[in-house]
Structure 1
Amino acid sequence: MGGGGGAAVETLSFNAKNGNVVSKTKYPLKFWEVMAACGVVLGFLMGLLGVYLTMPASDYSFLKLPRTLEDLQILKDHLESYTSDYTAQVLIGYCVVYIFMQTFMIPGTVFMSLLAGALFGVFKGVALVVFTATAGASSCYFLSKLIGRPLVFSLWPDKLTFFQAEVAKRKNRLLNYMLFLRVTPTLPNTFINVASPIVDVPYHIFFLATAIGITPAAYVTVRAGIALGELKSLGDLYDFQSIATLFLIGAIAVIPTLIGGKSKW
């Protein structure tokens, strides 16, 4: 087995000749892979602790990951006074938390995007969300490449089979297809982050599709954060017009994959 104990993990590969998905067997995770993943977790925890210890003395009982719009409003009201005086600490703390949530698939990043708009405005907020979301997605990509295969096969076997087949069919226009997935809610972003290295999506395509593709949705969410007090529910973020616009952008992105042709990507 070479490197560690444990049961073998079944994987799938796409057969381009007959269009079938065939099974293979991957060796279990090696000891160094598990230790490297633990090191990533420890690094994030140390970063969060460092941010907390460098913050000015105060009552931080309000600090928690927001789960509702009410939680977010409370967090925003408290952080507004700190943002102007301790901008660097707030920015670093925001980035570490957002990237941590993206890396480990913790729900609630939409609240963080709303918070960026409420604290920093549209332009800075969008830049911040695109940066942190791309960094977090990249971190999740490499962590999944290291140890994510068993998790993906246990949680999303059907989605993975579909995704692998679609990626194999679109090798010549993969960037356009990945842009389409990022812009539209065809597949969950969390799944795309974890599954992309498993189905052999190259990182440079993953990175470009993420950075470009999430920008429209980031703009919609960040802009809504400016009028946070007017939101009644998360459903107010994406009305019919917003969703239709995102699908239109996604359709434009995927057109080259439909008309065929060669591409350097």
Structure 2
Amino acid sequence: MSMQDAPSTQDAQDTGGRGTWLRAGITVAVLVLAFILVRISGFDQYLSISALSENRQWLLDEVARLGLGAALIFIAVYAVAVAFSVPGAVVLTVTSGFLFGPVFGTLYAVLGATLGAIGLFLFVKLGLGGSLQSRAGGTIDRLRRGFSDNALGYLLFLRLLPIFPFWLVNLAAAVLGVSLGIFTIATFVGIIPGAAVFASFGSGIGSLLDAGKPVDLASVLTPAVILPLVALALLSLAPMVYKRYRAARTG
């Protein structure tokens, strides 16, 4: 009986393996297709300071007319942009501050970015993460175990100090087995300081546009802004460093 069972077991494993890779292939294809469609549509061209300048009166009129509906629409647009990895999140955050003020502008930007990140995270985790984790080996497997052990600290660090692109962190977290809860908390909390900086800048951008002065987003990132963000990012790693220190001493 065992000899008869062996082929069927092997066939099941082969079928499962093909199904896993097929699901992973479809996931990658959908991500690539979505990126291509966004580029072809030219949607990302609207995420610029020049587009904000040209349409700012219309945007302000719509916010006044729609009230809370305008906030919900903005959050949805921000979430879709992040889910499809459209470049221009900084401009969206500046726009949020311009339309809704520094406080609500920060809140709406953080909500939109977090919801979009969760959407992309879940899509990749369900379609791609499991297949790679089950076959992970060597460096990838070590990264997965290390990231899982200290996921909150790592993610907070990457969110507070965005060394890597936002979309890349979303994909890495999904593939490396981070839980949805930790991903959501680290994303929501970690992007608040940066969002607050650009939303505050956006709240005062109207005077610059009225004066005809150039709007330079790079000028926002002064040492007075960057150094506190770096300090917060390093502080998020403190529990992990202490844990390793204690492990080294007891070991």
Calculate the TM-score normalised by the size of structure 1.
0.68
Q: 1:203-240: CA deviations, max 9, x gaps? A: 11111100100000010010010122436222122122
**Identity of aligned pairs, percent?**
24
Q: Secondary structure at the match of 1:176?
A: helix
Matched, 1:28 2:22: yes
Distance in 2 separating the partners of 1:245 and 1:172: 26
Matched, 1:201 2:178: yes
- Aligned 8 A contact 1:73 1:228 in 2: no
Q: Report the CA distance shift for 1:166/1:29 in structure 2 as closer, same or farther (over 3 A).
A: closer
- The answer for the alignment partner of 1:216 in structure 2 is 193
Matched, 1:236 2:222: no
- The answer for the alignment partner of 1:72 in structure 2 is 52
Q: Report the CA distance shift for 1:198/1:114 in structure 2 as closer, same or farther (over 3 A).
A: same
Unaligned runs of 5+ in 1: 7-25, 42-62, 153-160
- Whichever residue aligns with residue 90 of structure 1, its letter is A
- Aligned 8 A contact 2:153 2:239 in 1: yes
Runs of 4+ in 1 over 3 A off after TM superposition: 1-6, 146-149, 161-167, 170-173
Unaligned runs of 5+ in 2: 1-13, 35-42, 133-137, 209-213, 247-251
Please state how far the C-alpha of 1:148 moved relative to its aligned partner. Answer: 4.7
Q: CA RMSD in A?
A: 3.1
Please state how far the C-alpha of 1:76 moved relative to its aligned partner. Answer: 2.3
Please state how far the C-alpha of 1:162 moved relative to its aligned partner. Answer: 7.4
Distance in 2 separating the partners of 1:240 and 1:162: 35
- The answer for the alignment partner of 2:10 in structure 1 is none
- Which one has the bigger helix percentage? 2
Q: Report the CA distance shift for 1:164/1:132 in structure 2 as closer, same or farther (over 3 A).
A: farther
- Aligned 8 A contact 2:80 2:116 in 1: yes
Distance in 2 separating the partners of 1:237 and 1:99: 24
- Counting matched residue pairs gives 208
- Whichever residue aligns with residue 86 of structure 1, its letter is L
Q: Report the CA distance shift for 1:167/1:182 in structure 2 as closer, same or farther (over 3 A).
A: farther
Matched, 1:87 2:64: no
